[in-house]
Amino acid sequence: MANPLDKFVLGIRKLIEGLMMDRMAENDKIVTRFMANQEFQGAAFPILAQEIAVGGLGSLESANNGVLR
């Protein structure tokens, strides 16, 4: 059974922050803004988490011949 989005986002924050830091050289302005501006982070984080969750679910469907487990 998959985690609901609200529980998923609790565990994904560190991953998103790590990905942002990895991409800092290519996207310095956006990463700096994300890390330093709590209001911007609050707006962007739920969107990023949802995109990762949906992308992850799509990958699981493909791996399981269209069946979520």
pLDDT tens sequence across 16-41? 888 888 877 788 888 889 889 999 99
Asked if 6 contacts 46 with a C-beta cutoff of 8 angstroms, the reply is no
Token pair recorded at residue 28: 């310095």
Asked if 49 contacts 12 with a C-beta cutoff of 8 angstroms, the reply is yes
* Structure-token match 């803004």, residue found: 33
Token pair recorded at residue 5: 């989005």
Where are the domains positioned within the chain?
A: 7-62
Whole-number pLDDT of residue 3: 62
Q: Cα(first)–Cα(last) distance of the chain, in Å?
A: 6
pTM given for the model: 0.53
12: closest CA among 22, 3, 23? 3
